[in-house]
Amino acid sequence: MIIFLTKLFSAVIPASLLVISASLFVIPAKAGIHPLHIDSRLRGNDRKRSGQLSIQVLLYGAITIIALTGFLTWTDSVIDTVYRESDRAQALAIAEAGIEYYRWHLAHAPQDFQDGTGQPGPYVHEYTDKSGTVVGTYTLDITPPVQGSTIVTIDSTGTLASNPDIEKVVRVRMGIPSFAKYAAVLNAAVRFGQGTEVFGEIHSNGGIRFDGIAHNLVTSAQTDYDDPDHTGQKEFGVHTHVNPPPATGVTDTARALESPPNDVADRSDVFLVGRQFPVPAVDFAGIASNLSQMKADAQAGGFYRPTSTTLLGYEIVLKTDDTFDLHLVTALVAAPSYCSNALSQDGWGTWSISTKSLLGNYPMPANGLIFIEDNVWVSGQINGARVTIAAARFPDNVATRSSITVNADLLYTNYTGNDVVALIAQKNINIGMVSAATIRIDAALMAQNGRVGRYYYQGPTTSPNRDRCSPYHARTFVTSYGMLGSNQRYGFAYTDGTGYVSRSLVYDTNLLYGPPPSFPLTTDAYKIVSWDEVK
């Protein structure tokens, strides 16, 4: 084995290294000291053992040198890795600085996606330390929002002046939240009754009584309020009349446990995510200016119609080929005998079309805006379209405000955010008397001054025997997929069993930062939607 290793190392280790190694292990003789044997005259076997020992010394020395060389190489590699990781971290910090810079820029110029240059990017900025020394650069690639969206995508690439080969890229998506951030947003006290299930956040500037199931946060601007549905003490800004488990059912009288000064109970059987109050109010008044701007934008690059000659309004039937049919409404369904406005509701009527005439088929406008200065009925289905239908008369007059009615399905083909409809009415969003028993409305619904809901249509009586509004007084199921905003108290049903017995409000999460064209925003401040380190 020793002979084999000797040959091996003789082949790979230069002779000069062996000489050096040998010289390192020479033991100088001193007076009275004999390193190998007390007799300096080596016998044959002693000479052989001495030679073997010399080879072993050389072998161990060579191994030591090789190991030392490997250790030094490894140490150098570790140090280089540490420096590279430090450079990467610094490059990442520079890239993040670029994101923060453009976030600041958008706060001061929300519509500027060219870094103040008026020219296409990329945009390069120097990054300096506190002494003014240039440490590196960040390069910004900015993708502006697509039509109907508020989301801007920013890629920031950070590089070091001392090591330009290292770069880090951060991609951030930022958007401005709109009114469509809520499944339901209201400006007045509201009651969500039994049978109501809401998927999405709910907010009211008034109080909220919630007796259904809320799958997301429920908030109110009120600390407490006087629930108009009963007498008694004030209750929490968000409260429920559902009896706590294991009890069932609802108690309609004032609930002491849902009133101050008691602590707010954890009613996870009703509020699955929780409830919060008071919170800041939402500005409904700002929608008025939005409608005025929508009219101007529709006249400039959308679809616009003035008040109809019949003074009744228009019907719009959306189609999957990016067109829509426009009808002139010529007559409405008359209310049956003894079907009357029992609750003295403002604007009560059947809101159902009897006769109409086709005006034409039109392409979907390029800017996605359809503005009608009259009442509008909407139905149909879209496939890949993004459209906002607004109804309002100007100058604003309480007596002539416009409403939008949906009596048949209004559907998307795609539920990935590609299909978006908004209905924005100066007064009400209605479901009329002659409406589908089961109806689905895929849209963001906004009633600026009125309410989203259905008028009260009386059921039949047996004494005397009168049909009144039957068989349309009671409907089966309504699904609202999108969101709804209502200035006044919303509702598709009444406590006597009329209206839509079951109601499902499903929030379309695609609306948060990808709202319909020109949909009202809740703020002008950008918020980070996503952050990714892409390199």
Under the banding of pLDDT at 50, 70 and 90, the label for residue 73 is confident
pLDDT value, residue 260: 94
pLDDT value, residue 346: 96
In the chain, where the domains are located? 1-22+47-177+523-535, 179-283, 285-519
pLDDT value, residue 288: 58
Secondary structure, 3-state, 388-432: EEEECCCCCCHHHCCCEECCCCEEECCCCCCCEEEEEECCCEEEC
Compute the distance between CA of residue 234 and CA of residue 226 in angstroms, rounded to an integer: 5
Say whether pLDDT at 23 is over 90: no
The CA-based dihedral angle spanning residues 115, 520, 200, 208, taken in that order and rounded to the nearest 10 degrees: 130
Under the banding of pLDDT at 50, 70 and 90, the label for residue 26 is very low
Average pLDDT of the residues of the chain:
87
Q: What kind and span of H or E run contains 72?
A: helix 44-108
pLDDT value, residue 25: 37
143-147, 154-158, 408-412: which has the minimum mean pLDDT?
143-147
What is the value of pTM for the model shown? Answer: 0.73
| Burial class of 272 by CB neighbour count within 10 A (0 to 12, 13 to 18, 19+) | middle
> Cα–Cα distances in Å, from 471 out to 363, 411, 466, 499?
37, 25, 11, 11
- List the beta bridge partners of residue 483: 444
Cβ(436)–Cβ(414) below 8 Å: no
Say whether pLDDT at 9 is over 50: no
Q: What percent of the chain has pLDDT over 70?
A: 89
15-24 and 44-108 helices cross at what angle (nearest 10)? Answer: 110
pLDDT value, residue 51: 57
Condensed to tens digits (0 to 9), the pLDDT of residues 164-207 reads 888 999 999 998 877 778 889 999 999 998 888 888 899 999 99
Compute the distance between CA of residue 280 and CA of residue 517 in angstroms, rounded to an integer: 26
Helices (H), 210-339: 287-301
What does DSSP say about strands 386-391 and 323-332: parallel, antiparallel, or unpaired? Answer: unpaired
Condensed to tens digits (0 to 9), the pLDDT of residues 82-102 reads 777 888 899 999 999 999 999
pLDDT value, residue 49: 55
Cβ(158)–Cβ(523) below 8 Å: no
The distance in angstroms from the start CA to the end CA of the chain is 53
Residue showing tokens 């020219």: 119
- List the beta bridge partners of residue 167: 159
Say whether pLDDT at 234 is over 50: yes
Higher pLDDT, 25 or 466: 466
pLDDT value, residue 2: 39
Gyration radius (Cα) of the chain, Å: 39
What does DSSP say about strands 465-466 and 461-462: parallel, antiparallel, or unpaired? Answer: antiparallel
pLDDT value, residue 6: 43
What does DSSP say about strands 527-533 and 167-175: parallel, antiparallel, or unpaired? Answer: antiparallel
Condensed to tens digits (0 to 9), the pLDDT of residues 262-301 reads 999 999 999 999 999 999 998 877 665 689 999 999 999 9
Q: What percent of the chain has pLDDT over 90?
A: 65
Condensed to tens digits (0 to 9), the pLDDT of residues 27-67 reads 344 444 444 443 444 445 555 555 566 777 777 788 888 88
The first and second tokens of residue 481, run together, are 């997929």
pLDDT value, residue 3: 42
Compute the distance between CA of residue 294 and CA of residue 308 in angstroms, rounded to an integer: 19
Condensed to tens digits (0 to 9), the pLDDT of residues 458-515 reads 999 988 889 999 999 999 999 999 999 999 998 999 989 999 999 988 999 888 878 8
Condensed to tens digits (0 to 9), the pLDDT of residues 341-362 reads 999 999 999 999 999 999 999 9
pLDDT value, residue 68: 82
